[in-house]
Structure 1
Amino acid sequence: RTMRVPVACLAAWLASAPGAEAASFLVSFPKDVLLPAVAASGVATGERGGLTGRVRLYFTRTNDTAPYESDSDDQSTAQVFGLDAEDWLPGEANGLVIDESVFGYPRPSLEDLEDGVYYVQAELALYDLYTRRDLPEVWLPATCVSSGGLNGEYAKPDGTIFSAVMEVDLRRKGRRAQKFALSLDQVTPKAASPGCAGLGDGVDSDWIKTVRVRSSLLSDWWGRDVTLEACVLLPQGFDEHPDARYPLVVAQGHYSPQFWPGGAFRETDPACDPAVDGYDCVSEQYAYQLYQDWTNTAEDSPFSGARMLVATINHPVPLFDDSYAVNSANLGPYGDAIVTELLPAVEQQYRGLGAGWARGLYGGSTGGWESIGVQVLYPDEFNSAYAACPDPVTFTSYTSINIYDETNAYFYDSPFKRTERPGQRDDYSGLIWPGYGHPYGQTTATVKEMNHRELVLGTKSRSCGQWDIWEAVFGPVCDDGFPCRLYNKMTGEINATVADYWRENFDLKAIMERDWAVLGPKLQGKLHVFVGASDTYYLTNAVMDLEDFLRNTTDPVSDAEVVVGVHQGRGFEHCFRGYELDVDGNVLPNSITRLTYNQAFLPAMAEHFVATAPADADTSSWRY
């Protein structure tokens, strides 16, 4: 709903006003939303019984989409301002004021907004109190997962409180100060998860099963129960071959309540028309194609001789929807918990072989980094990693930044120029999921802009954003209990000490260079990396740096596969996962190949597993 509030008729709140020609917004919440918000989110309250979190105020020029769902790194972004709330009590008397002194994105101040009509909405993103082992107590986001998961009904986490949309007319020149009041009187309810099989939370199908494990390692570290989840696709013939034991392939990536490992799994024909229903129909058709291929018993079917378990895994953390599947100082022993607690539970319950030679990894973007990272950090526990458009695998190219040799993350080093570093470039195709590549590659967001957006959404790495989670995963813990910044979030100045920590612990290329004598024999033939030559987020650069190393390894040679995707002179965009041809020999675009990870990678993994298995290993029971 939209509140139309003519400026002349506004009931002014009576606090002293900013100077003439200024505007300010008072944000408060009524008492009757406090308990529903706490109940939906499960957050702790402060010493006074108030709420802690981040107040955000959004401005848009149109009301087509709710303003609080409209901020982005793109040109269509809303304007947003942010303010921390600590033990915040209900009532207008306790309201927080957002005025021209509060930092915003993309315009830094309210005074930078032109006069005119805006649609304005406020929200409070809730924080919870965390007591981690041997670390200071900290207030972190209650969750970075939307209510019901990615396919949930709501776009915000459970318990988020927000206001109605207010239409305001800023007219400041030569006028008295304008004051507006918004009440956070609505609560995002807790939505039911669709579950792994899409049938409801915990309701499995014949093909897709749910495995949940309370992690002792993580529960002890976080001081609260932590559950890991796997959505497991059983191989064709699982019941008909009771003596078979299967390899396990882990599909890495963002949180998803449903099994969606680079192409969903659908048992019925969607009966839709792409010309009418668009890309959603294409996606559903390929989900049904996976079902048809998966259940095909013909000898020439894609999965003949490659019957495996495929698992997507969910391991969200307070600062992101995903832990990056490794041990980290800020987030705890997620790598060990997944490798020693979750995956063995999957293998025990569904007849997995339970051996490193019979485990593989694949994923794209975040999942791409996880696939390489887990393979490198747990080299004996996995036997293949197929990584598409991975997050930066070396920090000599942390997107467009060399964090070791340069001094500022936002500007190129220069004695006189102040040229901002690019952070995101355009796509030309007009598709939700890009086709081939950029004809122009024009910058649409800079590293500075992307980081300032996160700074507005949440201080101390609490934005639930990409740059913030990288700092939480890769960096040390600072004295206040929050992740140490790699660079000053406002100015971009790089902290060389933190950069050294990143190099020693999470720069995958640097780790392989340093430890190749030990890692080389364990990684030989296991690494497969794909990236578009014009990756949208400049992830190409780090992959090419890694390629330079892998192509020149000796004792042993890496036998790695690195593919930088180009088509008809255009570099593929995010997220290129390798070349694939249609029946007529035409190269398929990203929008299709993102739906066929299983058909592309599992047969090759099966061949590698058999070729490298120990002499006494079972390489036959699952190859029907």
Structure 2
Amino acid sequence: SLKQASSVGSSDMFAVTLAALALPQLIVQLPTDTATAKVGRIRLYLSGSCATEPRTQCSDDQTTSQAFGVNTPVGGLAPGQTVTVDSDTLGYPVHSLSEISAGSYCMQAEFFPHRQYARGDGVNVTLPVSCVSKSGGDGAYGSPSGTMFSDARVVDFDPSSAESISFSLTSTVGENPSPGGCSGTGADTKWIKTVRTRSRLLSEFWGTAIDLEACVLLPHGFDEHPNATYPLVIAHGHYEDLFNPGGRFDATPPSPSQTGYARIDQLYANYLYGNWTSPTGPFRGARALVVTIKHPVPFFDDSYAVDSANVGPYGSAIMRELLPEIESRYRGIGEGWARGTFGGSTGGWEAFAVQVLYPDDFNYAAVACPDPITFTSYATIDIYSEMNAYYYDAPFKKTARPGQRDHYSGTTVSASGEPGYGHPYGQTTATVEEMNRREMVLGEASSSCGQWDIWEAVFGPRGADGYPARIWCKDPRGGCEYGAINKTVAAYWKENFDMVHIMKRDWTKGLGAKLSGKLNVYVGGSDTFFLTNAVMDLQDWVAHSALTPPFGGEILIGTHDGRGFEHCFNGYLPDGTVAPNAITRELYLTKFVPLMADRWAATAPAGANMEWRSY
């Protein structure tokens, strides 16, 4: 609701005017008494109801609000200057302001702050100050500090009227502090520790101070076994302010008042706490450090943990600056045979990628519902053989490619509050074009903080303008064929970030010997974002190639009752029982750490300190 918005009043405000739709305009003025120019993105939202702020409703789903967006001028909006948005301004899902029908709408204006980065690679780029709020997690953040917005109010909208409709951005999202370190208690606890280090590599790249922060879960018996050294597991995934490796860690059982998924989440958080801190149970003989990492970037809530021309050397920074600090501080073994990684979705891609790109540094990767691990199936697009990302290649037909089907099922519960599977009907809920158009409206030059934009930033080369080179034409206003794939950029993606291609290319050159038995991949048969497709491409290569050495890992495409799992399937229960995603998503540690421990023990070098295995 509007009253729940995290904001404070602001004397700095824009006046936003929607002029008569005889010539539809949005006029944004910075008051003359403002001390400094403002750089960022102006957005205007329309929805059918003010029950929820329109600015929070813009999505890929059918319930999305309408949005229009335009940048402030280069150098910022100076005091007294205005920005005009007219009927030619890009909109989503309706393309133009002039196409909005007469009626009553809830309207709201927003300013999303950007800043200039004088990067160490010699380019200056203007990008969001942040894509996250400090207290958010798992892709849900609210607006970053500094975001300005107007009240949401119902407006009678008449395209034929010359009357202006004005908005004032009277509220500003203030600093939303974290709950207090990785534990959320304001201080580290016996179990959860916070590690923060200034990254020289990242600070030099971005031209500003960049810290990496990690949350570390210590194993049972850490203090009682002072001579033990421990394996380390990285739980990759979206930005989380608190320690959450795929199942929270909480000593508190659910309260009687909790219902639905909140009850399930609290129940399994308490299960993990009890099992992890017990001398018996699933973690006996599998004592390890478990690490989550906070690495938001100006493009997204997460860097993707690799070295990238646009995002920076996050792979090197994590591997060569952060991990040694953690292992030194908490008695990590510090050798590749005693490290593992897991994650789902974004974290699944990261787990797969770091195992492939750093094959000597990890000895097990549990990969769930990964973002596209090969671009022969970049969702529903083969960027190498097909010509257009938005429409299937055809001489006469023009069929839009689906980008999303059905719904995410990770928090699905039945009417009685029990975990459920959802219904994978295979119905398209958003096309690739719609999803990318939304991001174009929210921020041009890969600056929307959205999913397709971060893929483009991570996987692609730097463009001539200093921003990520477009993988295809995303601007429908001309200058290129809408949706046409840039084959030069695609070739760069292939050689640098197509993980299946890299394995095919280098398997017999020594990479196979370093990866055999390490990669274990799980995806639902009906993944919401078509992530099934790339895993099937991997499966086909493994099944139809006489690999030497063998692939050696597991590839599982999940089904239940003959139906494919939706996003984000991470395998069945440890005993093989089929269970909904709402349960298995809580069990990453319980499922995968014991499997990692078995492999570490089987491949440990002679003379290794194995005390972690003894209790």
Q: TM-score, normalised by structure 1?
A: 0.90
State which of 78, 82, 86 in structure 1 corresponds to 2:65: 78
1:145 matched to 2:132? The reply is yes
Counterpart contact for 1:435–1:573, Cα < 8 Å: no
Q: Over residues 240-279 of structure 1, what are the superposed CA-to-partner deviations in whole Å (9 max), with x where a residue is unaligned?
A: 11111100000001111100010000012232355xx221
SS of equivalent to 1:483: coil
The 2-side partners of 1:31 and 1:302 are apart by 65
What do residues 73-102 of structure 1 show as CA deviations (whole Å, max 9, x unaligned)?
Answer: 0000000000010244466x5332333121
CA deviation after TM superposition for structure 1 residue 443, in Å: 0.2
Q: 1:168 to 1:557 in 2, by over 3 A?
A: same
SS at match of 1:313: strand
Residue in 2 that maps onto 1:44: none
1:558 maps to 2:551: yes
- CA spacing shift, 1:152–1:191, aligned 2, 3 Å: farther
Q: Distance in 1 between matches of 2:409 and 2:547?
A: 41
**How far apart are residue 17 of structure 1 and its match?**
6.3
Q: Taking structure 1 as reference, are residues 204 and 431 closer, same or farther at Cα in structure 2, changes over 3 Å only?
A: closer
Distance in 2, Cα, partners of 1:234 & 1:30: 53
The corresponding residue for 1:308 is 288
Per the alignment, do residues 16 and 209 of structure 1 end up closer, same or farther by CA in structure 2, a change over 3 Å counting? closer
CA distance in 2, matches of 1:508, 1:165: 45
Tell me: CA distance 1:16–1:565, structure 2 relative to 1, closer, same or farther (3 Å).
Answer: closer
Correspondence for 2:177 among 178, 189, 192: 192
Q: Which residue identity does 2:536 align to in structure 1? A: M
SS in 1 for 2:611: coil
| Aligned with residue 568 of structure 2, among 560, 565, 575 | 575
Q: Is the 8 A contact 2:516 2:551 kept in 1?
A: yes
The match for 1:116 is: 103
Aligned residue for 1:208?
192
Measured in 2, the distance between the counterparts of 1:16 and 1:602 equals 56
Please report how far the alpha carbon of residue 614 of structure 1 lies from its aligned counterpart in structure 2 after TM superposition. Answer: 1.3
Amino acid at match of 1:316: P
RMSD: 2.3
Q: Which moved more, 1:95-104 or 1:56-65?
A: 95-104
Identify the match of residue 537 of structure 1 among 529, 539, 552.
529
Letter in structure 1 aligned against 2:28: V
Q: CA-to-partner distance for each residue in 1:293-339, whole Å, 9 max, x for gaps?
A: 101112xx000000100000111111111110000111111101100
- Deviations along 1:145-179, whole A, 9 cap, x unmatched? 1243339997100111111113211123xx43232
The residue that corresponds to 1:501 in the other structure is: 492
Name 2:441's counterpart in structure 1.
456
AA in 2 matched with 1:350: Y
Contact 2:521 2:556 in 1 (8 A): yes
| CA distance in 1: counterparts of 2:192 and 2:185, whole angstroms | 12
Q: CA deviation at 1:586?
A: 5.3
In the alignment, structure 1 residue 294 sits paired with structure 2 residue 281: no
Q: Describe how 1:32-47 pairs up with structure 2 within 5 A.
A: none
Does the aligned pair in 1 maintain the 2:139–2:238 contact within 8 Å? no
* Aligned equivalent of 2:460: 475
Q: Superposed, which structure 2 residues align to 1:505-524 within 5 Å?
A: 505-517=496-508, 518-524=510-516
How far residue 391 of structure 1 moved from its aligned partner, in angstroms, is: 0.1
d(CA) in 1 for partners of 2:465 and 2:561? 52
Q: Which residue of 1 aligns with 2:254?
A: 270
Offset at 1:143?
A: 0.7
Alignment counterpart, residue 591 of structure 1, candidates 575, 578, 582: 582
Q: CA deviation at 1:621?
A: 3.9
Shift of the 542–219 alpha-carbon distance from structure 1 to 2, 3 Å rule, reads same
Distance 2:47 2:184 in 1: 37
- Counterpart residue number, 2:10: none
Match of 1:345 in 2: 325
Q: Is the 8 A contact 2:38 2:77 kept in 1?
A: yes
Tell whether the 8 Å contact from 1:148 to 1:190 is kept in structure 2 after alignment.
no
Does structure 1 residue 25 correspond to structure 2 residue 50? no
Q: Which of residues 162, 166, 181 in structure 2 aligns to 1:177?
A: 162
**Which residue of 2 is the match for residue 6 of structure 1?**
none
Inter-partner Cα distance in structure 2 for 1:428 and 1:286: 20
User: For 2:541, which of 527, 537, 549 is the aligned residue?
Assistant: 549
Q: Match for residue 258 of structure 1?
A: 242
Q: Kindly tell me: are residues 74 and 405 of structure 1, through their superposed partners in 2, closer, same or farther at Cα, counting changes over 3 Å?
A: same
Contact 1:326–1:334 (8 Å) recurs in 2: yes
Query: Cα deviations across residues 559-615 of structure 1 (Å, max 9, x unaligned)?
Result: 021000011111000000001278xx8521001100010000000000000111112
Tell me the percent identity. Answer: 54
State whether residues 115 and 170 of structure 1, in contact with CA within 8 Å, keep that contact through their aligned partners in structure 2.
yes
Partner deviation per Cα, 1:494-526 (whole Å, 9 max, x = no partner): 000000000000000000000002110000100
Find the counterpart in structure 2 of residue 387 from structure 1.
367
Distance in structure 2 (CA, Å) of the matches to 1:621 and 1:586: 29
Measured against aligned partners, the alpha-carbon deviations of 1:274-295 in whole angstroms (never above 9, x if no partner) come to 5xx2211210111010000101
Residue 6 (structure 2) aligns with: none
**Aligned mates of 2:565, 2:370 — CA distance in 1:** 14
1:164 aligns with 2:146: no
1:102–1:381 distance in 2 versus 1, CA, 3 Å: same
Q: Which residue of 1 aligns with 2:403?
A: 423
Q: Structure 2: where are the runs of 5+ without partners?
A: 4-14, 414-418, 476-481
Residue in 1 aligned with 2:11? Answer: none
In the alignment, the residues of structure 1 paired with residue 287 and residue 427 of structure 2 have an alpha-carbon distance, to the nearest angstrom, of 44
Q: Distance in 2 between matches of 1:368 and 1:152?
A: 15
**SS of 2:539 mapped into structure 1:** helix
- From the superposition, tell whether residues 15 and 255 of structure 1 become closer, same or farther in structure 2 (CA, over 3 Å): closer
Amino acid at match of 1:521: A
Paired residue secondary structure (1:605): helix
Given the alignment, which residue of 393, 414, 427 partners 2:394?
414
In the alignment, residue 330 of structure 1 is paired with which amino acid? N
Shift of 1:479: 1.2
Shift of 1:432: 4.6
Name the TM-score, length of structure 2 as normaliser: 0.92
Q: 1:178 is paired with a residue of what secondary structure?
A: coil
> What is the distance in 2 between the residues matched to 1:587 and 1:432?
15
Q: Could you say if the C-alpha distance between residues 472 and 553 of structure 1 is closer, same or farther in structure 2, counting changes exceeding 3 Å?
A: farther
